Structure 1
Amino acid sequence: MNRHINQAQHNETFLAFIENHSPDDYNDWKITVIFYIAVHYIQAFYLEHGITVDNHKQRAEVMQNRNGEPVSRLCFTAYQSLYWLSIDSRYTAQGCIATHRDQLVDNVEDAKDALIKVKEFVMNYFNS
């Protein structure tokens, strides 16, 4: 495995810590952590292909096979969903507004579902 897999697993441990110690709070941060777990899994995949990806835009382009190794449509769609959930949770300040907390709980679950798809794609590659 490579350093990005290690970082993804480290972030997963942090997510578990947040969820265990504050199950009803910090959902905006949980979504952000979930997104960055996915980022590291994708980075691991591309590092194995000798492809350096430096930013979110470039990663999306490479994932769509514009200039690199493609990922499955399911993986790309899940990653894009995580990207937008993360943007929404970080920049709309919904975590601070009580009326939006139920939506954030749903978004955390959606983010976890999307992460499973990204992680499965990458780990299936490494285990094949």
Structure 2
Amino acid sequence: MQAHVNQALHNENFINECIKNHPDSFFDWKVTASFYTALHLFRAFCELRGVDPGRTHQDIANNFDPKRTSKPLTSIAPFVWKNYIRLQRYSENARYEVFLEPDVENEIQRGNFGHCLTLLNELKSFFHKQGVPCQKDKAA
């Protein structure tokens, strides 16, 4: 579990350094790092519960998405899956759906990043309450 917590903290430190040193750019990377922070916290939570969520994003979806399974590997609050999948989609869009002018794309990603921080902080609060040793205070 600690390896996932350490990676989540590493990713969060990266986000904070980007915010500090590049407040008006690199929102695609800030969004992507937000998702991977959530992924590692989710994996730490699963490890704490004694379950293996799977190796791939597909495995995780098959084991937790209420549209794919009526019996997830461990119980989670409904908002946890919703926040997680939203962060994943924001991350995928930031990496693969870049078709606009750079200035326009930057502003879209700026807004998306703000939403990602909200989603991530909600997840961090949940995981902290479940015993995952993560910072419960707000990211960034």
Which TM-score applies when normalising by structure 1? 0.90
In the other structure, the counterpart of 1:54 is 55
Q: State the 1:2 CA deviation.
A: 1.9
| Structure 1 residue 110 corresponds to structure 2 residue 115 | yes
Take 1:86 and 1:13, find their aligned partners in 2: how far apart are those partners?
18
- Give, in whole Å, the separation in 2 of the partners of 1:89 and 1:112: 15
User: Of Structure 1 and Structure 2, which has the larger fraction of its residues in helix?
Assistant: 1
Instruction: Give the Cα separation in 2 of the matches to 1:31 and 1:96.
Output: 18
Measured in 2, the distance between the counterparts of 1:97 and 1:119 equals 31
Supply the distance in 2 between the matched residues of 1:95 and 1:115 (Cα, whole angstroms). Answer: 26
Structure 1 outlier segments of 4+, above 6 Å? none
Deviation at 1:92, TM superposition (A): 1.5
Unaligned stretches of 5+ in structure 1? none
Q: Cα RMSD (Å) of the superposition?
A: 1.8
2:98 alignment partner, one of 93, 102, 123: 93
State the Cα deviation string for residues 23-51 of structure 1 (Å, max 9, x = none).
11100000000000000000001111222
Q: 2:16, 2:98 → 1: CA distance?
A: 23
Query: What whole-Å deviation, never above 9, does each CA across 1:1-28 have from its counterpart, x for those lacking one?
Result: 6211111111111111111000111000
Kept after mapping to 1: 8 A contact 2:98/2:105 = no
Structure-2 residue corresponding to 1:11: 11
**1:124: which partner in 2?**
129
SS at match of 1:78: helix
- Structure 2 gaps, min length 5: 133-140
Separation (CA, whole Å) in 1 of partners of 2:61 and 2:92: 15
